Homo-oligomer: A and B are copies of this chain.
Amino acid sequence: MPAPDDFVVTPYEVKGKVDYDRLRERFGTQELSPELLARLHHLAGGELHPLLRRGVYYSQRDLGPLLDGYANGRPFFLYSGRGPSGPLHTSHLLQFDLCQWFQRRLGVPMYIQITDDEKFWARSGLTREETAHWGLENLYDILALGFDPKRTHIFFDSRSIAALYPLAIRVARKISYSNVKAVFGFTPSTNIGLGFYTALQSVPAFWPSWAEGRAVPCLIPCGIDQDPHFRLTRDVAEGLGYPKPALVHSKMVPGLLGEGVMSTTGNRADDALFLNDPPKVVERKLRAAFTGGRATVEEQRRLGAVPEVCSIWALWRTRFAESDEKFEEVTRSCRSGELLCGDCKGQLIERVHAFYETHADAREKAKSWAESAIVTEPPRPL
Protein backbone atom coordinates (compact mmCIF):
# COMPACT_ATOMS: atom_id res chain seq x y z
CA MET A 1 0.00 0.00 0.00
CA PRO A 2 1.52 3.37 -0.97
CA ALA A 3 2.20 5.82 1.83
CA PRO A 4 -0.02 8.90 1.98
CA ASP A 5 1.33 12.19 0.64
CA ASP A 6 4.88 11.84 1.84
CA PHE A 7 6.20 14.30 -0.73
CA VAL A 8 5.12 17.77 -1.78
CA VAL A 9 5.63 19.27 -5.23
CA THR A 10 4.46 22.80 -6.11
CA PRO A 11 6.05 25.43 -8.36
CA TYR A 12 7.49 27.03 -5.23
CA GLU A 13 8.43 23.98 -3.13
CA VAL A 14 9.63 20.39 -3.49
CA LYS A 15 9.76 18.34 -0.28
CA GLY A 16 10.33 14.64 0.45
CA LYS A 17 11.38 11.84 -1.88
CA VAL A 18 9.37 12.24 -5.05
CA ASP A 19 7.65 9.16 -6.49
CA TYR A 20 7.33 10.27 -10.11
CA ASP A 21 4.68 7.79 -11.16
CA ARG A 22 2.52 8.74 -8.20
CA LEU A 23 3.16 12.41 -8.90
CA ARG A 24 1.89 11.90 -12.44
CA GLU A 25 -1.26 10.29 -11.07
CA ARG A 26 -1.69 13.03 -8.52
CA PHE A 27 -1.33 15.74 -11.17
CA GLY A 28 -3.46 13.79 -13.66
CA THR A 29 -0.93 13.83 -16.50
CA GLN A 30 -0.34 11.13 -19.12
CA GLU A 31 2.65 8.90 -19.70
CA LEU A 32 5.18 9.91 -22.36
CA SER A 33 4.68 6.47 -23.87
CA PRO A 34 6.95 4.42 -26.16
CA GLU A 35 4.33 4.97 -28.91
CA LEU A 36 4.58 8.74 -28.57
CA LEU A 37 8.36 8.58 -28.51
CA ALA A 38 8.32 6.47 -31.67
CA ARG A 39 6.12 9.05 -33.41
CA LEU A 40 8.43 11.83 -32.30
CA HIS A 41 11.42 9.86 -33.56
CA HIS A 42 9.74 9.53 -36.92
CA LEU A 43 8.64 13.18 -37.21
CA ALA A 44 12.12 14.36 -36.21
CA GLY A 45 13.66 12.49 -39.11
CA GLY A 46 14.91 9.46 -37.18
CA GLU A 47 16.33 11.06 -34.05
CA LEU A 48 15.35 11.41 -30.41
CA HIS A 49 16.96 13.79 -27.95
CA PRO A 50 18.93 12.00 -25.18
CA LEU A 51 16.59 13.47 -22.56
CA LEU A 52 13.74 11.68 -24.33
CA ARG A 53 15.71 8.46 -24.93
CA ARG A 54 16.86 8.28 -21.31
CA GLY A 55 13.51 8.79 -19.65
CA VAL A 56 14.24 12.22 -18.12
CA TYR A 57 11.11 13.50 -19.86
CA TYR A 58 8.44 11.03 -18.78
CA SER A 59 5.05 12.74 -18.66
CA GLN A 60 2.85 14.80 -20.97
CA ARG A 61 -0.49 16.45 -21.59
CA ASP A 62 -2.04 16.42 -25.08
CA LEU A 63 1.21 15.69 -26.91
CA GLY A 64 -0.61 13.20 -29.19
CA PRO A 65 -3.06 15.71 -30.70
CA LEU A 66 -0.21 18.22 -31.10
CA LEU A 67 1.82 15.69 -33.10
CA ASP A 68 -1.28 14.75 -35.12
CA GLY A 69 -1.61 18.40 -36.07
CA TYR A 70 2.06 18.73 -36.96
CA ALA A 71 1.91 15.60 -39.13
CA ASN A 72 -1.06 17.17 -40.93
CA GLY A 73 0.73 20.43 -41.71
CA ARG A 74 -0.33 22.38 -38.64
CA PRO A 75 2.90 23.62 -37.03
CA PHE A 76 3.11 24.40 -33.35
CA PHE A 77 5.41 26.66 -31.36
CA LEU A 78 7.48 26.13 -28.23
CA TYR A 79 7.19 28.11 -25.03
CA SER A 80 9.46 28.02 -22.01
CA GLY A 81 10.74 30.49 -19.47
CA ARG A 82 12.99 31.38 -16.63
CA GLY A 83 12.55 33.28 -13.37
CA PRO A 84 15.90 35.05 -12.97
CA SER A 85 17.11 34.98 -9.37
CA GLY A 86 20.79 34.25 -9.96
CA PRO A 87 23.07 32.40 -12.37
CA LEU A 88 21.66 29.38 -14.21
CA HIS A 89 22.77 25.94 -13.19
CA THR A 90 22.99 22.97 -15.51
CA SER A 91 19.62 21.50 -14.55
CA HIS A 92 17.92 24.74 -15.61
CA LEU A 93 18.95 23.86 -19.15
CA LEU A 94 16.85 20.70 -19.42
CA GLN A 95 13.74 22.38 -20.75
CA PHE A 96 15.70 24.61 -23.13
CA ASP A 97 17.79 21.70 -24.42
CA LEU A 98 14.62 19.94 -25.46
CA CYS A 99 13.17 23.12 -26.97
CA GLN A 100 16.33 23.70 -28.98
CA TRP A 101 16.16 20.15 -30.30
CA PHE A 102 12.51 20.59 -31.31
CA GLN A 103 13.34 23.85 -33.03
CA ARG A 104 16.31 22.40 -34.89
CA ARG A 105 14.59 19.19 -35.99
CA LEU A 106 11.10 20.55 -36.72
CA GLY A 107 11.83 24.19 -37.59
CA VAL A 108 9.27 25.54 -35.14
CA PRO A 109 9.31 28.99 -33.44
CA MET A 110 10.40 29.37 -29.84
CA TYR A 111 9.02 31.87 -27.31
CA ILE A 112 11.06 32.46 -24.16
CA GLN A 113 9.67 34.35 -21.18
CA ILE A 114 12.08 35.95 -18.70
CA THR A 115 10.08 36.73 -15.56
CA ASP A 116 12.10 39.43 -13.87
CA ASP A 117 8.88 40.75 -12.31
CA GLU A 118 7.83 37.41 -10.81
CA LYS A 119 11.18 36.75 -9.19
CA PHE A 120 11.16 40.21 -7.63
CA TRP A 121 7.71 39.40 -6.19
CA ALA A 122 8.65 35.88 -5.11
CA ARG A 123 11.96 36.66 -3.37
CA SER A 124 11.95 39.56 -0.96
CA GLY A 125 15.76 39.49 -0.79
CA LEU A 126 16.20 40.35 -4.47
CA THR A 127 16.31 43.87 -5.87
CA ARG A 128 14.82 44.82 -9.23
CA GLU A 129 18.31 45.57 -10.47
CA GLU A 130 19.26 41.99 -9.61
CA THR A 131 16.31 40.32 -11.31
CA ALA A 132 16.82 42.49 -14.40
CA HIS A 133 20.56 41.76 -14.43
CA TRP A 134 20.11 38.00 -14.04
CA GLY A 135 17.33 38.08 -16.57
CA LEU A 136 19.78 39.16 -19.27
CA GLU A 137 22.57 36.91 -18.06
CA ASN A 138 20.26 33.89 -18.01
CA LEU A 139 18.91 34.79 -21.41
CA TYR A 140 22.39 34.74 -22.96
CA ASP A 141 22.99 31.29 -21.48
CA ILE A 142 19.71 30.01 -22.88
CA LEU A 143 20.21 31.41 -26.37
CA ALA A 144 23.75 30.00 -26.39
CA LEU A 145 22.27 26.50 -26.53
CA GLY A 146 21.78 27.10 -30.25
CA PHE A 147 18.44 28.81 -30.78
CA ASP A 148 17.77 30.18 -34.23
CA PRO A 149 17.70 34.01 -34.19
CA LYS A 150 15.13 34.03 -36.97
CA ARG A 151 12.69 31.80 -35.08
CA THR A 152 13.21 32.86 -31.46
CA HIS A 153 11.17 35.52 -29.67
CA ILE A 154 11.73 36.78 -26.16
CA PHE A 155 9.29 38.21 -23.64
CA PHE A 156 11.42 39.98 -21.05
CA ASP A 157 8.55 40.83 -18.74
CA SER A 158 9.53 44.29 -17.53
CA ARG A 159 10.38 45.34 -21.07
CA SER A 160 7.76 43.32 -22.98
CA ILE A 161 4.78 44.30 -20.88
CA ALA A 162 3.17 46.32 -23.67
CA ALA A 163 3.17 43.17 -25.79
CA LEU A 164 1.79 40.97 -23.01
CA TYR A 165 -0.63 43.15 -21.10
CA PRO A 166 -3.62 43.43 -23.46
CA LEU A 167 -4.00 39.65 -23.33
CA ALA A 168 -3.05 39.42 -19.63
CA ILE A 169 -6.03 41.67 -18.85
CA ARG A 170 -8.34 39.09 -20.39
CA VAL A 171 -6.62 36.14 -18.73
CA ALA A 172 -6.66 37.76 -15.28
CA ARG A 173 -10.45 38.16 -15.21
CA LYS A 174 -10.77 34.38 -15.51
CA ILE A 175 -8.57 33.53 -12.51
CA SER A 176 -9.65 34.12 -8.92
CA TYR A 177 -7.78 34.39 -5.64
CA SER A 178 -9.08 30.98 -4.65
CA ASN A 179 -7.70 29.50 -7.89
CA VAL A 180 -4.18 30.74 -7.23
CA LYS A 181 -4.40 29.92 -3.56
CA ALA A 182 -5.33 26.33 -4.36
CA VAL A 183 -2.63 25.91 -7.00
CA PHE A 184 0.28 27.75 -5.42
CA GLY A 185 -0.54 27.63 -1.71
CA PHE A 186 -0.51 31.41 -1.39
CA THR A 187 -1.29 32.95 2.02
CA PRO A 188 -2.83 36.30 3.02
CA SER A 189 0.65 37.82 3.23
CA THR A 190 1.48 36.93 -0.38
CA ASN A 191 1.87 40.11 -2.37
CA ILE A 192 -0.60 41.10 -5.09
CA GLY A 193 2.09 40.92 -7.76
CA LEU A 194 2.66 37.21 -7.30
CA GLY A 195 -1.09 36.64 -7.35
CA PHE A 196 -1.42 38.45 -10.67
CA TYR A 197 1.65 36.81 -12.10
CA THR A 198 0.07 33.60 -13.32
CA ALA A 199 -1.94 35.67 -15.82
CA LEU A 200 1.28 36.98 -17.36
CA GLN A 201 2.81 33.52 -17.42
CA SER A 202 -0.17 32.25 -19.41
CA VAL A 203 0.02 34.90 -22.10
CA PRO A 204 2.91 33.54 -24.24
CA ALA A 205 0.97 30.27 -24.64
CA PHE A 206 -1.72 32.25 -26.50
CA TRP A 207 0.30 35.09 -27.99
CA PRO A 208 1.04 33.55 -31.42
CA SER A 209 -2.65 32.69 -31.81
CA TRP A 210 -3.46 36.35 -31.09
CA ALA A 211 -0.72 37.50 -33.46
CA GLU A 212 -1.78 35.27 -36.33
CA GLY A 213 -5.51 35.46 -35.75
CA ARG A 214 -5.91 31.67 -35.79
CA ALA A 215 -5.36 28.78 -33.38
CA VAL A 216 -1.62 28.04 -33.18
CA PRO A 217 -0.87 25.03 -30.96
CA CYS A 218 1.68 25.42 -28.17
CA LEU A 219 4.10 22.93 -26.61
CA ILE A 220 5.61 23.66 -23.21
CA PRO A 221 8.53 21.51 -22.01
CA CYS A 222 8.99 21.99 -18.26
CA GLY A 223 9.88 20.33 -14.99
CA ILE A 224 6.84 18.52 -13.65
CA ASP A 225 6.88 20.83 -10.62
CA GLN A 226 5.83 23.67 -12.96
CA ASP A 227 2.76 21.81 -14.23
CA PRO A 228 0.32 23.65 -11.88
CA HIS A 229 1.13 27.00 -13.52
CA PHE A 230 0.08 25.66 -16.87
CA ARG A 231 -2.92 23.79 -15.54
CA LEU A 232 -4.39 27.24 -14.87
CA THR A 233 -3.34 28.26 -18.38
CA ARG A 234 -5.10 25.23 -19.81
CA ASP A 235 -8.19 25.90 -17.71
CA VAL A 236 -8.67 29.40 -19.13
CA ALA A 237 -7.58 28.67 -22.72
CA GLU A 238 -10.84 27.63 -24.30
CA GLY A 239 -12.86 30.39 -22.66
CA LEU A 240 -10.52 32.83 -24.38
CA GLY A 241 -10.81 31.06 -27.72
CA TYR A 242 -7.28 29.61 -27.77
CA PRO A 243 -6.07 26.00 -27.85
CA LYS A 244 -4.94 24.43 -24.60
CA PRO A 245 -1.13 24.21 -24.57
CA ALA A 246 0.36 20.70 -24.65
CA LEU A 247 3.07 19.87 -22.12
CA VAL A 248 6.00 17.48 -21.77
CA HIS A 249 7.31 17.11 -18.23
CA SER A 250 10.74 16.15 -17.00
CA LYS A 251 11.70 14.62 -13.72
CA MET A 252 13.73 16.89 -11.50
CA VAL A 253 17.50 16.54 -11.23
CA PRO A 254 19.06 15.40 -7.92
CA GLY A 255 21.41 17.91 -6.35
CA LEU A 256 25.16 17.46 -5.82
CA LEU A 257 24.68 17.50 -2.06
CA GLY A 258 22.56 14.36 -2.25
CA GLU A 259 19.61 15.81 -0.38
CA GLY A 260 16.90 15.54 -3.00
CA VAL A 261 16.05 17.80 -5.91
CA MET A 262 18.74 20.23 -7.05
CA SER A 263 18.11 23.60 -5.50
CA THR A 264 20.50 26.39 -4.68
CA THR A 265 18.01 28.46 -2.70
CA GLY A 266 19.42 29.48 0.65
CA ASN A 267 23.11 28.81 1.20
CA ARG A 268 23.25 25.80 -1.07
CA ALA A 269 25.43 27.01 -3.92
CA ASP A 270 27.30 23.70 -3.82
CA ASP A 271 24.19 21.73 -4.77
CA ALA A 272 24.58 22.65 -8.45
CA LEU A 273 27.03 23.63 -11.15
CA PHE A 274 26.40 27.25 -12.03
CA LEU A 275 27.20 28.18 -15.59
CA ASN A 276 29.41 30.98 -14.30
CA ASP A 277 31.40 28.76 -11.92
CA PRO A 278 35.13 28.98 -12.70
CA PRO A 279 36.84 25.67 -13.59
CA LYS A 280 38.31 25.26 -10.10
CA VAL A 281 34.90 25.65 -8.48
CA VAL A 282 33.41 23.13 -10.91
CA GLU A 283 36.14 20.69 -9.97
CA ARG A 284 35.72 21.28 -6.23
CA LYS A 285 31.94 20.84 -6.38
CA LEU A 286 32.13 17.67 -8.44
CA ARG A 287 34.90 16.15 -6.31
CA ALA A 288 32.71 16.73 -3.24
CA ALA A 289 29.48 15.57 -4.91
CA PHE A 290 27.30 12.81 -3.47
CA THR A 291 27.52 9.52 -5.41
CA GLY A 292 26.02 6.06 -5.37
CA GLY A 293 29.37 4.58 -4.38
CA ARG A 294 30.20 2.24 -1.50
CA ALA A 295 32.02 2.85 1.77
CA THR A 296 35.28 1.24 0.57
CA VAL A 297 36.96 0.51 -2.73
CA GLU A 298 36.90 -3.19 -1.90
CA GLU A 299 33.17 -3.14 -1.28
CA GLN A 300 32.53 -1.17 -4.46
CA ARG A 301 34.61 -3.57 -6.57
CA ARG A 302 32.61 -6.42 -5.09
CA LEU A 303 29.02 -4.99 -5.03
CA GLY A 304 29.14 -2.27 -7.67
CA ALA A 305 27.68 1.23 -7.16
CA VAL A 306 24.11 2.52 -7.53
CA PRO A 307 23.76 5.01 -10.41
CA GLU A 308 20.10 5.77 -9.72
CA VAL A 309 20.90 7.71 -6.52
CA CYS A 310 24.11 9.31 -7.85
CA SER A 311 24.33 13.03 -8.63
CA ILE A 312 27.28 12.43 -10.95
CA TRP A 313 25.37 9.80 -12.95
CA ALA A 314 22.47 12.30 -13.22
CA LEU A 315 24.86 14.75 -14.90
CA TRP A 316 26.05 12.11 -17.38
CA ARG A 317 22.44 11.22 -18.06
CA THR A 318 21.01 14.70 -18.54
CA ARG A 319 23.78 16.41 -20.46
CA PHE A 320 27.32 15.15 -20.47
CA ALA A 321 27.07 11.69 -22.05
CA GLU A 322 26.52 12.81 -25.59
CA SER A 323 26.45 9.32 -27.09
CA ASP A 324 24.33 6.45 -25.90
CA GLU A 325 27.42 4.25 -25.99
CA LYS A 326 29.17 6.49 -23.48
CA PHE A 327 26.12 6.65 -21.25
CA GLU A 328 25.64 2.88 -21.31
CA GLU A 329 29.31 2.30 -20.64
CA VAL A 330 29.30 4.62 -17.62
CA THR A 331 26.16 3.00 -16.28
CA ARG A 332 27.32 -0.57 -16.84
CA SER A 333 30.82 -0.13 -15.43
CA CYS A 334 29.46 1.80 -12.43
CA ARG A 335 26.97 -0.93 -11.61
CA SER A 336 29.57 -3.68 -12.08
CA GLY A 337 32.13 -2.08 -9.79
CA GLU A 338 34.70 -1.58 -12.56
CA LEU A 339 34.40 2.22 -12.54
CA LEU A 340 35.22 3.88 -9.24
CA CYS A 341 33.71 7.22 -8.26
CA GLY A 342 36.99 9.14 -8.36
CA ASP A 343 37.70 8.07 -11.94
CA CYS A 344 34.14 8.70 -13.01
CA LYS A 345 34.27 12.23 -11.51
CA GLY A 346 37.59 12.86 -13.27
CA GLN A 347 36.09 11.96 -16.65
CA LEU A 348 33.04 14.10 -15.98
CA ILE A 349 35.10 17.10 -14.89
CA GLU A 350 36.87 17.06 -18.25
CA ARG A 351 33.57 16.94 -20.09
CA VAL A 352 32.16 19.79 -18.02
CA HIS A 353 35.23 21.95 -18.65
CA ALA A 354 34.92 21.31 -22.39
CA PHE A 355 31.22 22.22 -22.36
CA TYR A 356 31.84 25.43 -20.40
CA GLU A 357 34.44 26.51 -22.95
CA THR A 358 32.19 25.92 -25.95
CA HIS A 359 29.30 27.51 -24.12
CA ALA A 360 31.27 30.68 -23.35
CA ASP A 361 31.89 31.23 -27.06
CA ALA A 362 28.28 30.57 -28.00
CA ARG A 363 27.16 32.93 -25.23
CA GLU A 364 29.20 35.80 -26.67
CA LYS A 365 27.56 35.24 -30.06
CA ALA A 366 24.09 35.16 -28.45
CA LYS A 367 24.68 38.58 -26.91
CA SER A 368 24.81 40.07 -30.39
CA TRP A 369 21.19 39.23 -31.17
CA ALA A 370 19.43 38.80 -27.81
CA GLU A 371 18.19 42.38 -27.56
CA SER A 372 16.75 42.39 -31.04
CA ALA A 373 14.63 39.32 -30.24
CA ILE A 374 12.84 40.98 -27.31
CA VAL A 375 9.20 41.58 -28.22
CA THR A 376 8.00 45.03 -27.14
CA GLU A 377 4.81 45.64 -29.08
CA PRO A 378 1.44 43.92 -29.23
CA PRO A 379 0.99 42.28 -32.63
CA ARG A 380 -2.38 43.88 -33.28
CA PRO A 381 -5.27 45.41 -31.34
CA LEU A 382 -7.04 42.94 -29.08
Interface residues, chain A, with chain B CB atoms under 8 Å away: 117, 120-121, 124, 128, 158, 161-162, 165-166, 169-170, 172-181, 186-193, 195-196, 198-199, 376, 382
Contacts and interface: CB of A to CB of B under 8 A. Distances in A.
A176 B158 contact: no
B172 A191 contact: yes
B188 A199 contact: no
A199 B190 contact: no
A181 B177 CA distance: 11
A179 B193 CA distance: 13
A152 to B, nearest CB: 22
Contact of A192 (B170, B199, B376): B199
11 contacts: A120-B173, A124-B173, A128-B170, A172-B191, A172-B196, A175-B191, A177-B189, A178-B188, A180-B192, A193-B196, A196-B196
Given A162-B161, A186-B177, A117 B192 contact: no
Contacts of A187: 177
A179 B195 CA distance: 13
Contact of A128 (B117, B180, B181, B382): B382
A59 to B, nearest CB: 27
Contact of A165 (B161, B180, B186, B199): B161
A132 to B, nearest CB: 9
A169 B128 contact: yes
B195 A169 contact: no
A192 B196 contact: yes
Contacts of A117: 165, 169
A144 B5 CA distance: 63
Given A121-B172, A192-B195, A195-B196, 11 more contacts: A120-B169, A120-B173, A158-B165, A165-B165, A172-B192, A173-B191, A176-B192, A177-B186, A177-B189, A178-B189, A193-B199
A378 to B, nearest CB: 9
A175 B162 contact: no
A289 B170 CA distance: 39
B199 A176 contact: no
Best-buried of A120, A162, A189, A382 by chain B (most CB within 10 Å):
A162
Nearest to A118: B169
Contacts of A176: 188-192
Contacts of A188: 176-178, 181
Given A128-B169, A128-B382, A169-B117, A177 B195 contact: yes
Which of the listed residues A124, A158, A190, A192 has the most CB atoms from chain B within 10 Å of its own CB? A192
Nearest to A172: B193
A189 to B, nearest CB: 5
Contacts of A166: 128, 158
A128 B158 CA distance: 23
A199 B121 CA distance: 13
A233 to B, nearest CB: 13
